[in-house]
Structure 1
Amino acid sequence: MPDLIAPAARLHKAWLEAHAEWGPGVHEDGFGLLPSDEVDSLAGFAAWVTRLADDLDPAKAVDAGGVPCTYRWIVEGDRVLGGIVLRRGFSEFVQWAGHIGYGIRPSARRRGLATWALGRMLDEARVLGMDRVLVVCAAGNVASVKTIERHGGVLEGIRDTELGPAPRYWIKIGVPRA
Protein backbone atom coordinates (compact mmCIF):
# COMPACT_ATOMS: atom_id res chain seq x y z
CA MET A 1 0.00 0.00 0.00
CA PRO A 2 1.53 3.37 -0.99
CA ASP A 3 1.88 6.30 1.36
CA LEU A 4 2.67 10.02 1.01
CA ILE A 5 5.43 11.19 3.32
CA ALA A 6 7.52 14.29 3.80
CA PRO A 7 10.95 13.97 2.16
CA ALA A 8 13.28 12.03 4.44
CA ALA A 9 17.09 11.84 4.49
CA ARG A 10 16.84 8.18 5.59
CA LEU A 11 15.63 7.35 2.06
CA HIS A 12 18.82 8.53 0.35
CA LYS A 13 19.65 5.21 -1.31
CA ALA A 14 16.02 4.54 -2.29
CA TRP A 15 15.66 8.03 -3.78
CA LEU A 16 18.88 7.63 -5.77
CA GLU A 17 17.53 4.35 -7.21
CA ALA A 18 14.34 6.12 -8.31
CA HIS A 19 16.31 9.06 -9.72
CA ALA A 20 18.51 6.68 -11.73
CA GLU A 21 15.44 5.35 -13.56
CA TRP A 22 14.80 8.82 -15.00
CA GLY A 23 18.40 9.28 -16.05
CA PRO A 24 20.63 12.28 -15.36
CA GLY A 25 19.18 15.72 -14.78
CA VAL A 26 16.55 17.41 -12.67
CA HIS A 27 13.48 16.61 -14.74
CA GLU A 28 11.36 14.68 -12.24
CA ASP A 29 8.60 17.15 -11.37
CA GLY A 30 7.33 16.89 -7.84
CA PHE A 31 10.74 16.56 -6.20
CA GLY A 32 11.89 20.20 -6.25
CA LEU A 33 15.33 19.21 -7.46
CA LEU A 34 17.39 22.16 -8.70
CA PRO A 35 20.61 22.06 -10.74
CA SER A 36 22.44 23.42 -7.68
CA ASP A 37 21.32 20.52 -5.45
CA GLU A 38 23.99 17.90 -4.79
CA VAL A 39 22.16 14.72 -3.89
CA ASP A 40 24.78 11.99 -4.39
CA SER A 41 26.45 12.38 -1.00
CA LEU A 42 24.49 11.80 2.21
CA ALA A 43 25.38 15.31 3.43
CA GLY A 44 24.25 16.92 0.16
CA PHE A 45 21.06 14.86 0.15
CA ALA A 46 20.28 15.85 3.75
CA ALA A 47 20.83 19.51 2.86
CA TRP A 48 18.43 19.15 -0.08
CA VAL A 49 15.77 17.51 2.14
CA THR A 50 16.20 20.39 4.61
CA ARG A 51 15.75 22.90 1.77
CA LEU A 52 12.53 21.18 0.73
CA ALA A 53 11.21 21.53 4.30
CA ASP A 54 12.26 25.20 4.28
CA ASP A 55 10.25 25.77 1.09
CA LEU A 56 7.12 25.89 3.29
CA ASP A 57 8.35 29.27 4.53
CA PRO A 58 7.80 32.03 1.92
CA ALA A 59 10.89 33.85 3.22
CA LYS A 60 13.07 30.81 2.49
CA ALA A 61 11.28 29.24 -0.52
CA VAL A 62 13.57 28.92 -3.55
CA ASP A 63 11.35 26.70 -5.73
CA ALA A 64 8.42 28.19 -7.63
CA GLY A 65 9.64 31.76 -7.42
CA GLY A 66 9.33 32.11 -3.67
CA VAL A 67 5.94 30.43 -3.39
CA PRO A 68 5.65 28.08 -0.39
CA CYS A 69 5.66 24.42 -1.43
CA THR A 70 4.54 21.19 0.21
CA TYR A 71 6.58 18.23 -1.04
CA ARG A 72 5.55 14.62 -0.58
CA TRP A 73 7.21 11.43 -1.68
CA ILE A 74 5.16 8.50 -2.84
CA VAL A 75 6.62 5.48 -1.07
CA GLU A 76 5.88 1.84 -0.56
CA GLY A 77 7.86 0.52 2.35
CA ASP A 78 11.32 1.96 1.86
CA ARG A 79 10.94 2.25 -1.92
CA VAL A 80 10.51 5.73 -3.44
CA LEU A 81 7.95 5.49 -6.24
CA GLY A 82 7.56 9.17 -7.07
CA GLY A 83 7.10 12.68 -5.83
CA ILE A 84 4.43 15.36 -5.83
CA VAL A 85 4.45 19.04 -4.90
CA LEU A 86 1.72 21.52 -4.04
CA ARG A 87 2.84 25.07 -4.81
CA ARG A 88 0.81 27.22 -2.44
CA GLY A 89 0.51 30.54 -4.24
CA PHE A 90 0.94 32.08 -7.65
CA SER A 91 4.13 33.23 -9.34
CA GLU A 92 5.57 33.29 -12.83
CA PHE A 93 6.94 29.79 -12.22
CA VAL A 94 3.54 28.49 -11.05
CA GLN A 95 1.96 30.09 -14.12
CA TRP A 96 4.36 27.97 -16.19
CA ALA A 97 4.53 24.73 -14.16
CA GLY A 98 1.22 24.68 -12.27
CA HIS A 99 0.26 24.47 -8.61
CA ILE A 100 0.73 20.72 -8.55
CA GLY A 101 3.49 18.77 -10.25
CA TYR A 102 4.27 15.09 -9.95
CA GLY A 103 6.44 12.34 -11.32
CA ILE A 104 6.30 8.56 -11.01
CA ARG A 105 9.42 6.47 -11.56
CA PRO A 106 9.14 4.44 -14.78
CA SER A 107 8.98 1.02 -13.07
CA ALA A 108 6.04 2.15 -10.88
CA ARG A 109 3.84 3.59 -13.62
CA ARG A 110 0.45 2.23 -14.74
CA ARG A 111 -0.60 1.47 -11.14
CA GLY A 112 -2.78 4.55 -10.55
CA LEU A 113 -0.21 6.14 -8.22
CA ALA A 114 -0.35 9.58 -9.86
CA THR A 115 -4.15 9.61 -9.71
CA TRP A 116 -4.07 8.58 -6.05
CA ALA A 117 -1.36 11.12 -5.11
CA LEU A 118 -3.05 13.96 -7.00
CA GLY A 119 -6.26 13.25 -5.08
CA ARG A 120 -4.39 13.48 -1.76
CA MET A 121 -2.77 16.78 -2.75
CA LEU A 122 -6.13 18.18 -3.85
CA ASP A 123 -7.38 17.33 -0.36
CA GLU A 124 -4.39 19.26 1.06
CA ALA A 125 -5.16 22.23 -1.20
CA ARG A 126 -8.78 22.16 -0.01
CA VAL A 127 -7.66 22.23 3.65
CA LEU A 128 -5.46 25.24 2.83
CA GLY A 129 -8.48 27.06 1.38
CA MET A 130 -7.44 26.98 -2.26
CA ASP A 131 -10.49 27.10 -4.53
CA ARG A 132 -8.80 25.84 -7.68
CA VAL A 133 -5.40 24.66 -8.86
CA LEU A 134 -3.56 24.76 -12.15
CA VAL A 135 -2.00 21.50 -13.35
CA VAL A 136 0.24 21.48 -16.44
CA CYS A 137 1.71 18.52 -18.33
CA ALA A 138 3.51 17.75 -21.57
CA ALA A 139 1.25 17.50 -24.61
CA GLY A 140 2.29 13.92 -25.35
CA ASN A 141 1.83 12.69 -21.78
CA VAL A 142 -1.50 10.88 -22.21
CA ALA A 143 -1.26 9.29 -18.75
CA SER A 144 -1.00 12.71 -17.06
CA VAL A 145 -3.87 14.08 -19.12
CA LYS A 146 -6.06 11.17 -17.99
CA THR A 147 -4.93 11.61 -14.38
CA ILE A 148 -5.81 15.31 -14.41
CA GLU A 149 -9.14 14.74 -16.14
CA ARG A 150 -10.08 12.01 -13.61
CA HIS A 151 -9.95 14.71 -10.97
CA GLY A 152 -12.16 17.10 -12.92
CA GLY A 153 -9.45 19.01 -14.76
CA VAL A 154 -10.85 21.39 -17.38
CA LEU A 155 -8.56 22.29 -20.27
CA GLU A 156 -7.81 26.02 -20.37
CA GLY A 157 -5.66 25.68 -23.47
CA ILE A 158 -2.25 24.64 -24.70
CA ARG A 159 0.73 26.97 -24.41
CA ASP A 160 4.02 26.71 -26.19
CA THR A 161 6.91 26.49 -23.75
CA GLU A 162 10.65 25.94 -24.10
CA LEU A 163 9.89 22.26 -23.37
CA GLY A 164 7.21 22.05 -26.07
CA PRO A 165 3.41 22.36 -26.04
CA ALA A 166 1.88 22.16 -22.55
CA PRO A 167 -1.83 21.58 -21.89
CA ARG A 168 -3.06 23.63 -18.92
CA TYR A 169 -5.88 22.33 -16.75
CA TRP A 170 -7.78 23.94 -13.89
CA ILE A 171 -9.25 21.73 -11.19
CA LYS A 172 -11.95 23.30 -8.99
CA ILE A 173 -11.70 22.44 -5.33
CA GLY A 174 -14.69 22.57 -3.08
CA VAL A 175 -16.84 19.72 -1.94
CA PRO A 176 -14.75 16.75 -0.75
CA ARG A 177 -14.48 14.00 -3.35
CA ALA A 178 -15.90 10.56 -2.67
Structure 2
Amino acid sequence: MPELIAPTVRLHAAWLEAHAEWGPGFHEDGFGLIPADEVESAAGFAAWVARLGDESDPAKAAKAGGAACTYRWIVEGERVLGGIALRHGSGEFVQWAGHIGYGIRPSARRRGVATWALGRMLDEARVLGMDQVLLVCAADNLASVKTIERHGGVLEGIRNTKLGPARRYWIKIDLPIT
Protein backbone atom coordinates (compact mmCIF):
# COMPACT_ATOMS: atom_id res chain seq x y z
CA MET A 1 0.00 0.00 0.00
CA PRO A 2 1.52 3.36 -0.96
CA GLU A 3 1.90 6.27 1.42
CA LEU A 4 2.75 9.95 1.12
CA ILE A 5 5.81 11.06 3.05
CA ALA A 6 7.83 14.24 3.34
CA PRO A 7 11.05 14.14 1.30
CA THR A 8 13.83 12.41 3.21
CA VAL A 9 17.55 11.78 2.74
CA ARG A 10 16.93 8.21 3.91
CA LEU A 11 15.58 7.34 0.45
CA HIS A 12 18.48 8.80 -1.56
CA ALA A 13 19.30 5.54 -3.39
CA ALA A 14 15.61 4.75 -4.00
CA TRP A 15 14.99 8.27 -5.33
CA LEU A 16 17.99 8.02 -7.66
CA GLU A 17 16.63 4.72 -8.98
CA ALA A 18 13.28 6.38 -9.78
CA HIS A 19 15.06 9.37 -11.33
CA ALA A 20 17.12 7.07 -13.57
CA GLU A 21 13.96 5.31 -14.73
CA TRP A 22 12.57 8.63 -16.02
CA GLY A 23 15.72 9.18 -18.04
CA PRO A 24 17.94 12.25 -18.25
CA GLY A 25 16.61 15.68 -17.38
CA PHE A 26 14.50 17.36 -14.74
CA HIS A 27 11.00 16.42 -15.88
CA GLU A 28 9.65 14.57 -12.84
CA ASP A 29 6.63 16.67 -11.95
CA GLY A 30 5.84 16.92 -8.26
CA PHE A 31 9.42 16.73 -6.98
CA GLY A 32 10.36 20.43 -7.11
CA LEU A 33 13.57 19.58 -8.92
CA ILE A 34 15.29 22.44 -10.72
CA PRO A 35 18.42 22.45 -12.92
CA ALA A 36 20.53 23.95 -10.10
CA ASP A 37 19.84 20.93 -7.84
CA GLU A 38 22.70 18.44 -7.62
CA VAL A 39 21.11 15.23 -6.38
CA GLU A 40 23.75 12.59 -7.13
CA SER A 41 25.99 13.23 -4.09
CA ALA A 42 24.80 12.75 -0.52
CA ALA A 43 25.53 16.42 0.28
CA GLY A 44 23.74 17.72 -2.81
CA PHE A 45 20.74 15.47 -2.17
CA ALA A 46 20.58 16.63 1.47
CA ALA A 47 20.68 20.28 0.34
CA TRP A 48 17.82 19.64 -2.10
CA VAL A 49 15.72 17.86 0.55
CA ALA A 50 16.40 20.76 2.96
CA ARG A 51 15.27 23.28 0.32
CA LEU A 52 12.04 21.35 -0.20
CA GLY A 53 11.48 21.36 3.56
CA ASP A 54 12.02 25.12 3.70
CA GLU A 55 9.61 25.67 0.81
CA SER A 56 7.01 23.55 2.62
CA ASP A 57 7.15 25.88 5.64
CA PRO A 58 4.93 28.92 4.94
CA ALA A 59 6.99 31.23 7.19
CA LYS A 60 10.33 30.22 5.63
CA ALA A 61 8.89 30.41 2.10
CA ALA A 62 7.51 33.91 2.71
CA LYS A 63 10.82 35.05 4.18
CA ALA A 64 12.54 33.81 1.01
CA GLY A 65 10.03 35.76 -1.10
CA GLY A 66 7.96 32.84 -2.39
CA ALA A 67 4.78 30.94 -1.73
CA ALA A 68 4.80 27.71 0.23
CA CYS A 69 4.62 24.34 -1.51
CA THR A 70 3.91 21.05 0.26
CA TYR A 71 6.04 18.28 -1.25
CA ARG A 72 5.28 14.61 -0.74
CA TRP A 73 6.89 11.51 -2.12
CA ILE A 74 4.72 8.57 -3.04
CA VAL A 75 6.43 5.51 -1.60
CA GLU A 76 5.69 1.84 -1.22
CA GLY A 77 8.00 0.21 1.26
CA GLU A 78 11.44 1.55 0.37
CA ARG A 79 10.54 2.24 -3.28
CA VAL A 80 9.84 5.78 -4.54
CA LEU A 81 6.88 5.58 -6.94
CA GLY A 82 6.55 9.30 -7.63
CA GLY A 83 6.14 12.77 -6.23
CA ILE A 84 3.30 15.21 -5.74
CA ALA A 85 3.34 18.89 -4.82
CA LEU A 86 0.62 21.18 -3.48
CA ARG A 87 1.44 24.79 -4.30
CA HIS A 88 -0.14 27.31 -1.95
CA GLY A 89 -1.38 30.69 -3.14
CA SER A 90 -2.32 31.81 -6.62
CA GLY A 91 0.80 33.46 -8.03
CA GLU A 92 2.08 33.42 -11.58
CA PHE A 93 3.68 29.98 -11.31
CA VAL A 94 0.47 28.45 -9.93
CA GLN A 95 -1.49 30.04 -12.78
CA TRP A 96 0.89 28.36 -15.24
CA ALA A 97 1.55 24.99 -13.54
CA GLY A 98 -1.48 24.58 -11.25
CA HIS A 99 -1.85 24.11 -7.51
CA ILE A 100 -1.07 20.41 -7.71
CA GLY A 101 1.54 18.70 -9.87
CA TYR A 102 2.53 15.07 -9.80
CA GLY A 103 4.63 12.50 -11.57
CA ILE A 104 4.65 8.71 -11.38
CA ARG A 105 7.69 6.69 -12.44
CA PRO A 106 7.00 4.65 -15.59
CA SER A 107 7.04 1.23 -13.89
CA ALA A 108 4.40 2.34 -11.34
CA ARG A 109 1.92 3.75 -13.83
CA ARG A 110 -1.50 2.27 -14.67
CA ARG A 111 -1.98 1.08 -11.06
CA GLY A 112 -4.09 3.99 -9.75
CA VAL A 113 -1.17 5.52 -7.83
CA ALA A 114 -1.71 9.04 -9.22
CA THR A 115 -5.46 8.89 -8.53
CA TRP A 116 -4.79 7.77 -4.95
CA ALA A 117 -2.09 10.43 -4.36
CA LEU A 118 -4.21 13.23 -5.82
CA GLY A 119 -7.02 12.29 -3.44
CA ARG A 120 -4.65 12.56 -0.46
CA MET A 121 -3.35 15.96 -1.63
CA LEU A 122 -6.91 17.22 -2.05
CA ASP A 123 -7.36 16.31 1.63
CA GLU A 124 -4.27 18.40 2.46
CA ALA A 125 -5.65 21.30 0.41
CA ARG A 126 -8.90 21.06 2.38
CA VAL A 127 -6.97 21.25 5.66
CA LEU A 128 -5.25 24.40 4.36
CA GLY A 129 -8.69 25.94 3.73
CA MET A 130 -8.47 25.88 -0.06
CA ASP A 131 -11.92 25.70 -1.67
CA GLN A 132 -10.70 24.84 -5.17
CA VAL A 133 -7.48 23.90 -6.90
CA LEU A 134 -6.17 24.28 -10.42
CA LEU A 135 -4.53 21.33 -12.16
CA VAL A 136 -2.75 21.67 -15.49
CA CYS A 137 -1.60 18.85 -17.74
CA ALA A 138 -0.41 18.47 -21.30
CA ALA A 139 -3.40 18.34 -23.62
CA ASP A 140 -2.38 14.88 -24.87
CA ASN A 141 -1.71 13.37 -21.40
CA LEU A 142 -4.81 11.18 -21.29
CA ALA A 143 -3.68 9.41 -18.10
CA SER A 144 -3.62 12.73 -16.21
CA VAL A 145 -6.90 13.78 -17.80
CA LYS A 146 -8.56 10.61 -16.44
CA THR A 147 -6.93 11.05 -13.02
CA ILE A 148 -8.10 14.66 -12.71
CA GLU A 149 -11.60 13.93 -13.99
CA ARG A 150 -11.96 11.02 -11.51
CA HIS A 151 -11.64 13.65 -8.77
CA GLY A 152 -14.28 15.92 -10.29
CA GLY A 153 -11.99 18.12 -12.37
CA VAL A 154 -13.92 20.51 -14.59
CA LEU A 155 -12.19 21.60 -17.77
CA GLU A 156 -11.73 25.36 -17.95
CA GLY A 157 -10.14 25.12 -21.37
CA ILE A 158 -6.96 24.45 -23.30
CA ARG A 159 -4.24 27.09 -23.52
CA ASN A 160 -1.03 27.25 -25.47
CA THR A 161 2.01 27.38 -23.18
CA LYS A 162 5.74 27.40 -23.73
CA LEU A 163 5.59 23.60 -23.40
CA GLY A 164 2.68 23.18 -25.82
CA PRO A 165 -1.10 22.95 -25.42
CA ALA A 166 -2.21 22.40 -21.83
CA ARG A 167 -5.56 21.48 -20.31
CA ARG A 168 -6.63 23.50 -17.26
CA TYR A 169 -8.95 21.86 -14.76
CA TRP A 170 -10.54 23.12 -11.55
CA ILE A 171 -11.45 20.78 -8.72
CA LYS A 172 -13.86 22.15 -6.12
CA ILE A 173 -13.03 21.09 -2.59
CA ASP A 174 -15.84 20.64 -0.12
CA LEU A 175 -14.68 22.27 3.08
CA PRO A 176 -15.63 20.58 6.36
CA ILE A 177 -18.58 22.10 8.20
CA THR A 178 -17.44 23.78 11.40
Question: Which of the five TM-score ranges fits, normalised by the shorter chain?
Answer: over 0.9
Distance 2:150 2:79 in 1: 26
**Given residue 69 of structure 2, which amino acid in structure 1 is its aligned partner?**
C
**How far does the alpha carbon of each residue in 1:44-92 deviate from its partner, in whole angstroms, 9 at most, with x for none?**
0011000000002346439xx8110000000001000000000011111
1:44 maps to which residue? 44
**Matched residue of 1:90: which SS?**
coil
Distance 2:66 2:103 in 1: 21
2:78 maps to which residue? 78
Tell me how far 1:21 sits from its aligned partner.
1.1
Tell me how far 1:23 sits from its aligned partner.
1.0
Distance 1:89 1:74 in 2: 23
Tell me how far 1:141 sits from its aligned partner.
0.6
**Given residue 40 of structure 1, which amino acid in structure 2 is its aligned partner?**
E
In the alignment, structure 1 segments of 5+ residues that lack a partner are: none
Distance 1:43 1:97 in 2: 29
Distance 2:11 2:27 in 1: 19
2:24 maps to which residue? 24
* 1:33-72 → structure 2 map (5 Å cutoff): 33-58=33-58, 60-61=60-61, 66-72=66-72
2:103 maps to which residue? 103
**Matched residue of 1:83: which SS?**
strand
Q: Does 1:125 align with 2:139?
A: no
Distance 1:80 1:103 in 2: 11
Given that 2:131 and 2:175 are in contact with CA atoms closer than 8 Å, whether structure 1 keeps it comes out as: no
Distance 1:53 1:9 in 2: 11
1:146 maps to which residue? 146
**Given residue 8 of structure 2, which amino acid in structure 1 is its aligned partner?**
A
Distance 1:86 1:145 in 2: 18
RMSD: 1.4
**Structure 1 residues 124, 58: closer, same or farther in 2, change over 3 A?**
closer
Tell me how far 1:25 sits from its aligned partner.
1.2
Tell me how many residue pairs correspond in the alignment: 174
Identical counterparts, % of pairs: 82
Tell me how far 1:156 sits from its aligned partner.
0.3
Given that 2:29 and 2:102 are in contact with CA atoms closer than 8 Å, whether structure 1 keeps it comes out as: yes
1:15 maps to which residue? 15
**Matched residue of 1:160: which SS?**
strand
**Matched residue of 1:155: which SS?**
strand
**Given residue 123 of structure 2, which amino acid in structure 1 is its aligned partner?**
D
Given that 1:59 and 1:66 are in contact with CA atoms closer than 8 Å, whether structure 2 keeps it comes out as: no
